[in-house]
Structure 1
Amino acid sequence: MQPSSPARPVGRGAKVRAAVHAAALAELVDKGYAALTVESVAQRAGVHKTTVYRRWKDRESLLTDALAEHMATDVPVPDTGSIETDLRALARSLVQAYTSPTGQAVLAAMFTGLPEAAAARRHVFDDRLVRAEPVVTRAVGRGELPADTDPGEVLKTLAAPIYLRLLVTADPVDESTADRAVHVTLAAARAGACGPAR
């Protein structure tokens, strides 16, 4: 009877994925979007570039995946039992994530104006909305918001003033910005202004 081959270490694929994601974000912070290459990411991650290409077809798909995962980790979806505290946690996490050096590099990458950056941005934001929708659907189920509340509209209303300051006005962004966004969002949602488009 042949001896069985050694088992592949558990989590090896996950560890490689995490290392490549971390390397991609570090390269983004250090070099910016335009100078980032699959080769430089692979070198920083300590893997061969073919390992990267087996999982991601190109630089854009790698960055899109890394950015979506980064946002999912840095802006976790809370479940406090209250829509107000859930939205506050979301908004404050968003502010904290995007005012960090990595967050600033992520924003710069997503808003470079290049077509591939626009596709990555759309994917990252869509992924973020889908992950956070349970915050609103749970609130509707608890009777905290009207039954026809659109989760996506609530989340966009919450994020809009934060992104306005980050990307347009360059006004300071801090916890008070997050808390004001929550106040406005709750007022709009409770008044039925975040229902389905008519």
Structure 2
Amino acid sequence: METGKSSRRKQCILNAVIAALEESDYSSLTVEDIAARAGVGKSTIYRWWKHKSDLVFEAFREQTASVFDLDFNASLDYNLKQQLLKLSCALNHPVGRALLVVMAEHREAAGEFFRQYLLPRREQTRKLIQQAIGQGEIQADYPFELMLDTLYGPIHYQIIFFNRIPDESYIEALVQLVLHPARTP
């Protein structure tokens, strides 16, 4: 069980990660700099995190803890648009950009992040899709795993390759394009 002091130290370290990434990129991020900013020793950081990539994952989790919550009282369209807008903002933040680098460079860590963080959120979206099917918004026989990949892929593409945050009109068009074939006649 974590003590209040441990919890405060961890928060201080994560704040130091965020501050460091706001000043430079992931390749310049060092545990030494984080420790100095947080006022702790490197051994304190290594007690909780094995690698600087783990710090980035944790900082991203911390920053987006409740950002991607779904509203089961709203439509599938609304929820998907909100998710994609929030994802665009989160990935455009320095911590989000660092996360993209980490996921490309550290495949094993990326897989763990997917299992621990993204998969539970994807499961929530599946529940929302099931609700939309039950309400007659969309057809039950649509390939929803492919639909989710088709929705989230362009967001990463726009940010990574074009260095552009997809705006509301882009996201609106994307959601409509992807959901159109799933709509009930």
Fold match by TM threshold 0.5:
yes
| TM-aligned CA deviation for residue 140 of structure 1 | 0.8
Give a deviation string over 1:100-159, Cα, whole Å, max 9, x none: 44434443x336x53x3x334444444224224213313313514444566643332221
Query: How many equivalent residue pairs?
Result: 179
**Alignment partners' CA distance in 1, 2:31 and 2:80:** 36
Give a deviation string over 1:142-182, Cα, whole Å, max 9, x none: 51444456664333222122222112244562122222222
Partner of 1:119: 108
Partner of 1:136: 126
Structure with greater helix share of residues? 2
**Counterparts of 1:61-100 in structure 2 under 5 Å?**
61-73=54-66, 75-81=67-73, 82-100=75-93
| TM-aligned CA deviation for residue 35 of structure 1 | 2.3
Partner of 1:20: 13
Q: 1:34 aligns to what SS in structure 2?
A: helix
**Alignment partners' CA distance in 1, 2:55 and 2:99:** 13
**Larger gyration radius, structure 1 or structure 2:** 1
**Residue among 154, 158, 176 paired with 1:161:** 154
Partner of 2:26: 33
Q: 1:79 aligns to what SS in structure 2?
A: coil
With over 3 angstroms needed to count, the CA separation of the structure-2 counterparts of 1:10 and 1:146, relative to structure 1, is farther
Amino acid at match of 1:138: L
With over 3 angstroms needed to count, the CA separation of the structure-2 counterparts of 1:92 and 1:134, relative to structure 1, is same
Q: TM-score, normalised by structure 2?
A: 0.75
**Residue among 152, 155, 172 paired with 1:179:** 172
Alignment RMSD (CA, Å): 3.1
**Residue among 45, 54, 58 paired with 2:47:** 54
Give a deviation string over 1:6-40, Cα, whole Å, max 9, x none: xx996433332222222123223323222222221
With over 3 angstroms needed to count, the CA separation of the structure-2 counterparts of 1:10 and 1:188, relative to structure 1, is farther
Amino acid at match of 2:30: T
Q: 1:76 aligns to what SS in structure 2?
A: coil
**Alignment partners' CA distance in 2, 1:149 and 1:12:** 50
Contact 2:89 2:165 in 1 (8 A): no
With over 3 angstroms needed to count, the CA separation of the structure-2 counterparts of 1:15 and 1:178, relative to structure 1, is farther
Amino acid at match of 2:108: A
Q: 2:16 aligns to what SS in structure 1?
A: helix
Contact 2:92 2:165 in 1 (8 A): no
| TM-aligned CA deviation for residue 50 of structure 1 | 2.0
Contact 2:56 2:95 in 1 (8 A): no
**Alignment partners' CA distance in 2, 1:110 and 1:190:** 37
Q: 1:60 aligns to what SS in structure 2?
A: helix
